[in-house]
Amino acid sequence: MRKIFLACPYGHSEDSVVEERFNRCNEVAATIVVAGHAVFSQVTMSHPINRVLQGYDRAAVGKLWAPIDAAFMEMLDELVVLDLEGWEQSAGIRREIDYFKSRGRKVSVWSEASAEFPPAA
C-alpha cells in the first residue's frame, strides 16, 4: 500500500474555482483509495474547515494548516500533485514538492501518475 500526500491548488478569487478544485481533489482521492492505497488529501480535509474559518484572512488560514500539513508530510511516502490550472504558481505546492524531494521521496503529477491507479475490480 502506497502512502500518498495529495496536493492540489486551492485558493482563487472566484469561489466557483475553489469549489471545483475541492471536487476534483475528492475525485482523485477516491480513485487512489479505490486502487488500494492510503491518501491524505489536504484540500478534502481543509475545505470544509476553512468554511468555518471565514473570519480569518488567507495568510492566517495558511499558518493554521502549515504544521498540520508538515505532520502528514512526515508520515507519508510520496507526493502526488493534482496538476490543475495554477498548480505551478502555488507556494503551498512548491513547499510540499521541496519537502518530499529533499527527503528523496517520490513526487509526481496526476496527469502522468493517474495510470498507476487503475480502478479496483
Q: Tell me: pLDDT of 110 over 90.
A: yes
Q: How many CA atoms lie less than 13 Å away from 39 in the CB half-sphere?
A: 26
> What is the Cα–Cα distance from 110 to 6, expressed in whole angstroms?
9
* Model confidence pLDDT, tens digit, residues 19-57: 999 999 999 999 999 999 999 999 999 999 988 988 888
What pLDDT is stored for residue 7 in this prediction? 96
Q: Tell me: pLDDT of 60 over 80.
A: yes
What pLDDT is stored for residue 121 in this prediction? 57
User: Torsions phi, psi of 84, nearest 5?
Assistant: -80, 165
Its CATH architecture, for the domain 3-116, is: 3-Layer(aba) Sandwich (3.40)
Give residue limits of the domains in the chain: 3-116
